[in-house]
Amino acid sequence: MQTALRTALPETELASLANFAPQTRVVREERPAQASGLPLSIRGLRKSFGDNEVLRGIDLHIPAGQFVAIVGKSGCGKSTLLRLIAGLEKIDAGSISFADEVKAEDIRVMFQEPRLLPWARVLANVEVGLGRDRASKDADARAEKALNEVGLADKRDQWPSVLSGGQKQRVALARALVSRPRVLAFDEPLGALDALTRISMQRLLERVWRDQGFTAILVTHDVAEAVALADRVLVIEDGRIAHDVTVNAARPRERGSAELASLEGSILRHLLSAEDRT
């Protein structure tokens, strides 16, 4: 749905000029960022640490550009799933496949900790995100553009130690965005922030996701955050996807609206009833 919305504009512009398909493609190629989301399919994914069977067969398809939130009680394997998707852990059984050939720069992860290099200035920290393009001539310009997107252009020459927690996390976001990833995975990126900063960061996440159209996978403890941001909320229980809830509310979403609140309530009930059973 998002993709349709995003491509609508250039197509209508084109229609007024000439009415054939090849040119539509040209326009899309000029703006690769706008159609960049990558679909992914997970089949029978299993992962254990020693005797501890963490994931016991995950089956999941995420369409390109979808915003998926993953919730579940602590220790249920959310981070493990994310790390498997990002290629940071080895798969025991099953598969994770992306539609296209993927480069390392196409998939980025953001953690709860900003993980900035304390000895590099903010701009240099963002440049780290360029991967193999770090040495290229336009590295500075690209990093600056990413900093602009998160609203921290004026901090480019600061040391990370002088930034606030929220600002550090925004720098980490810029670093993740600078390579124009096609899948962006978040592991509780806002977990350590205060309530107000959290809300402004949520808005920022939603905005960059809408602008850039990557596929977003957000692990969170906060069900309200999940329903406010995601197209779809997955509940993980006993190493499987126990519930797959679609959030149809229109964007921009109104925080605390009755629709979102009732959805949040029903997901919380799922989680709590699972808790009672164990």
Nearer to ligand ATP, 52 or 164 (CB): 52
| Residue 36, contacted partner among ligand ATP, Mg ion, another protein, none, CB below 5-8 A by kind | none
Bond prior to 181 in cis (omega within 30° of 0): no
State the nearest-atom distance from the C-beta of 48 to ligand ATP, in Å.
9
157 binds another protein (CB under 8 A): no
Q: Among residue numbers 80 through 99, which ones bind ligand ATP (CB under 6 A)?
A: 80
169 binds Mg ion (CB under 5 A): no
Binding footprint of Mg ion, residue count (CB under 5 A): 1
132 binds another protein (CB under 8 A): yes
79 binds ligand ATP (CB under 6 A): yes
- How far is residue 130's CA from residue 48's CA, in Å, rounded to a whole number? 32
Bond prior to 252 in cis (omega within 30° of 0): yes
| Residue 115, contacted partner among Mg ion, another protein, ligand ATP, none, CB below 5-8 A by kind | another protein
Rg (CA), the chain: 19
Q: Binding segment for ligand ATP among 9-17, 74-82, 192-200, 252-260 (CB under 6 A)? A: 74-82
- The answer to whether 79 and 71 have CB atoms below 8 angstroms apart is no
- How far is residue 113's CA from residue 89's CA, in Å, rounded to a whole number? 19
Binding footprint of ligand ATP, residue count (CB under 6 A): 11
Nearer to ligand ATP, 84 or 143 (CB): 84
Give Cβ neighbours of residue 99 (< 8 Å, ≥ 6 apart).
38, 39, 40, 64
Q: Among residue numbers 88 through 107, which ones bind another protein (CB under 8 A)?
A: 88, 104-105
Residue type, 196: L
* Crossing angle (nearest 10°) for helices 195-212 and 165-177: 10
From 180, 250, 253, select the one nearest 34 (Cα to Cα).
180
Q: Given candidates 16, 74, 161, 278, which one binds another protein under the rule CB under 8 A?
A: 161
Q: Given candidates 45, 58, 76, 247, which one binds ligand ATP under the rule CB under 6 A?
A: 76
- The answer to whether 167 and 174 have CB atoms below 8 angstroms apart is no
**Neighbour count for residue 76 (Cβ, 10 Å):** 22
| Residue 113, contacted partner among another protein, Mg ion, ligand ATP, none, CB below 5-8 A by kind | another protein
Strands 52-62 and 40-49: antiparallel
Nearer to another protein, 122 or 223 (CB): 122
- How far is residue 13's CA from residue 192's CA, in Å, rounded to a whole number? 44
- How far is residue 114's CA from residue 146's CA, in Å, rounded to a whole number? 16
Q: Given candidates 34, 36, 66, 79, which one binds Mg ion under the rule CB under 5 A?
A: 79
Q: Which residue has the tokens 């900003």?
A: 114
Q: Binding segment for ligand ATP among 32-40, 48-56, 129-137, 264-272 (CB under 6 A)? A: 48-56
140 binds another protein (CB under 8 A): no
* Torsional class of 117: left (φ above 0), alpha (ψ -120 to 50), beta (otherwise): beta
Residues lying near another protein in the complex (CB under 8 A): 86, 88, 104-105, 108-109, 111, 113, 115, 117-120, 128-129, 131-132, 159, 161-162, 175
Residues lying near ligand ATP in the complex (CB under 6 A): 49, 52, 54, 72, 74-80
